[in-house]
Structure 1
């Protein structure tokens, strides 16, 4: 039996560096991990880091992954057992809520039937903004699950709600979701 396939979508947050630890820990748990990055994420961490940790090519655009006849992002969407977006910025949450496909995460989200888990990371005011909260409600109504954010010191210097959830707890939630799916 093959390992469950997890697509980790990394968006442009300073918390993107924590996604490296997340990808490593998911791989150590025996999951097949594929990373998909927005352009903004690549400003914080390189695709090479995730390629090394996941042992798989990293998707950075719709034109990535031209190994077969099927577009790479569609192949991943079809194979996914779970789409995990971590860190998820206010922007990627808005794009997912409104069905936009301007980046590989949005493209895969629209094409997959797999469950979606979102781990937000952003400024606390952005998280609490009515627009973000409306987008979260819309996604939850569609069955998307959220883990976090948590309170603490934020990269912007503020103290408050907006930190990426603890990486070990995200890994545990992924394992629970995949076990429930069996």
Structure 2
């Protein structure tokens, strides 16, 4: 796997699967990608930013109002340098924000500002995933050109239910990113 010369923004949201972002970040970085993690405030309650900072060797961004010192807003700078915006895991909330053009935080602002392709790996309770609103948001994001890495069809979810909604495996996510760049 070679991601040499590629800049990937790894968006991490408040799913319990956020802990898997550490492995995703590590694998992409080991493959040569320049990874910048952007976390929602909810994700930062599940996995500490210092973990992703250490694994990516780049600063981790969490707060829209705590941006860099340069003249250009940090979210615009990150949005412009991305070759891919990868959201893993993606909650129902973030899917709704993306689908409806809402930008209440740093990650959603980057999503709206980036010209880069977007790849989304949802992870949530199966009932939430199957809800008509979530399905409509996914359909709308597909229309906008987002690429989806489907959640596992069966698995034990953190909420105690078994079924759909579990984040795709790290191997599957990394392989999809690799295939995406191979097709370019």
TM-score between the two structures when normalised by the length of structure 1: 0.96
Aligned partner of 2:119 among 117, 120, 126:
117
Q: What is the Cα deviation at residue 168 of structure 1?
A: 1.1
Q: Which residue of 1 aligns with 2:173?
A: 170
Q: What is the Cα deviation at residue 91 of structure 1?
A: 0.4
1:120-170 CA distances to partner (integer Å, 9 max, x unpaired)? 000000000000000000000111011011120000000000000010111
Question: Which consecutive aligned stretches of 4+ in structure 1 deviate over 4 angstroms post-superposition?
Answer: none
Aligned partner of 2:73 among 51, 55, 71:
71
Q: How does 1:32-181 map to 2 (within 5 A)?
A: 32-150=34-152, 151-181=154-184
Two-structure CA RMSD over aligned residues (Å): 1.0
Q: 1:117 to 1:26 in 2, by over 3 A?
A: same
Would the aligned equivalents of 1:18 and 1:167 in 2 still touch at CA under 8 Å? yes
Q: What is the Cα deviation at residue 67 of structure 1?
A: 3.3
Would the aligned equivalents of 1:59 and 1:73 in 2 still touch at CA under 8 Å? no
Could you tell me how far apart the structure 2 residues matched to 1:64 and 1:57 are?
12
Higher strand share: 1
Could you tell me how far apart the structure 2 residues matched to 1:179 and 1:69 are?
35
Could you tell me how far apart the structure 2 residues matched to 1:58 and 1:72 are?
11
Aligned length: 180
Could you tell me how far apart the structure 1 residues matched to 2:149 and 2:135 are?
14
Question: SS where residue 176 of structure 1 aligns?
Answer: helix
Q: How does 1:4-19 map to 2 (within 5 A)?
A: 4-19=6-21
